[in-house]
Amino acid sequence: MLEIPKRKILFVCLGNICRSPLAEGILRRKVAENKLNFEVDSCGTAAYHIGAKPDSRMIQTAKNRGTDISFLIARQFSKSDFDYFDSIFVMDKANYKNIIALAVNESQKEKVKLILNEINPNNNDEVPDPYYGGQNGFDHVYDLLDLATDKILGL
């Protein structure tokens, strides 16, 4: 029998406590529900929240929609992620700039994509940072990442 190789996906935001852990949690749930062969992780470009759980507001927003992210722990992006992962989906243009700046060749750069281009190719839309806003912002991020993760998985 032909084995389909596992596709390895990394999600990146600034702090790894709001947007990228949510993307990771939603993708993990859909991979399990659909018995797909994906590996998934997330990280931040910044070091501020290394070792922290996701923001409690994001944990609750995800829980309300059937996604558990309470077990995730923040880490910072490492250059070795370029080699390990097949695709690196970033949330906004600042993340894109910060990650591209660490790439040492074209093949590493080609792995980095703005996640919302999976929904509207070439639009370069950003997933807004919900950290300083209200509950609407968290719900909006969930809606965007729910759709984007469907596109990534071809659902």
* Catalytic residue status for 43: no
Selected binder of ligand 4NP within 9, 10, 15, 67 (CB under 6 A): 15
Q: Is 42 in the site for ligand 4NP (CB under 6 A)?
A: no
Closest by CA to 130, choosing from 143, 119, 149, 118, is: 143
CB of 65 to ligand 4NP, least distance (A): 17
Q: Which is nearer to ligand 4NP, 36 or 46 (CB)?
A: 46
13 binds ligand 4NP per the rule CB under 6 A = yes
Q: Which is nearer to ligand 4NP, 17 or 152 (CB)?
A: 17
Query: If binding is defined by CB under 6 A, does position 12 make contact with ligand 4NP?
Result: no
Give catalytic status of residue 19 as yes or no.
yes
Active site residue 86: no
- Active-site positions read 13, 19, 129
